[in-house]
Amino acid sequence: MSEDYLKILWRKLEFQRTVLEMGYSIIFTDADIVWFRDPFRRFYSDADFQIACDQFGFNSTDLNNSPNSGFIYVGSNNMTIQFYKFWCKSREAYPSIHDQDVLNKIKFDPFISKIGLKIRFLDTAYFGGICEPSKDLNVVCTMHANCCTKLDGKIHALKVMIDAWRKYMAKPGNHTKPQPWTVPISCWG
């Protein structure tokens, strides 16, 4: 949570807003996310702003889900542009916390309803992470080395995920039964 780290996070958000203002929809992914299969078929067609979760409560519209801004899919429209302006402006009210924690504070704000923004939280069954892993290799799209705070731990977690995927892909058959896997349950390093 150094000052430089916070500057980077907020510049990322301002850049995303700029791209939206140019008329482009965006998908943003942190570097510590592994893509196993195409995530686009798991996105919601009725949402303006979709975000991964550290913890998912089985309802994609429940604002009590714990969002993780490391994986976001956003359609460019007036509502998302207004939302990003509001999100960036909200930094002034919470100067010492990062974008994700600010989002957790503002997601209940009446302004969100007023502009008509439709927020959906992505199910960890498809968009898992170390905080709450996807449990089935047959359906997982992405896995995030979230909840790992040190680089060595992230690298270890990503290697374990990739190794498990390789073993899964090497198995013969059509993978119709749920395929549990060994995902790191914590980060070391």
- Per-residue tokens: 35: 């893509």
Kindly report, residue by residue over 69-113, the tens digit of the pLDDT.
Answer: 999 999 999 999 999 999 999 999 988 788 999 999 999 999 999
Are 88 and 7 in contact by the 8 Å Cβ rule? The answer is: no
pTM above 0.85, yes or no: yes
DSSP state of 38: -
DSSP string across 58-99:
S-TT-TTSEEEEEEEEE--SHHHHHHHHHHHHGGGTSTTS-H
- The span from the CA of 103 to the CA of 175, in Å, is 38
pLDDT-based confidence at residue 149 (cuts at 50, 70, 90):
confident
Mean pLDDT confidence for 55-63: 95
Residue 130: is its pLDDT beyond 80?
Answer: yes
Q: Which residues contact 176 (CB under 8 A, 6 or more apart)?
A: 138
What domains, with CATH codes, occur in the chain?
1-189 (3.90.550)
Give me the chain's average pLDDT, please: 90
- The span from the CA of 66 to the CA of 148, in Å, is 16
- Per-residue tokens: 111: 């302004």
Residue 39: is its pLDDT beyond 90?
Answer: yes
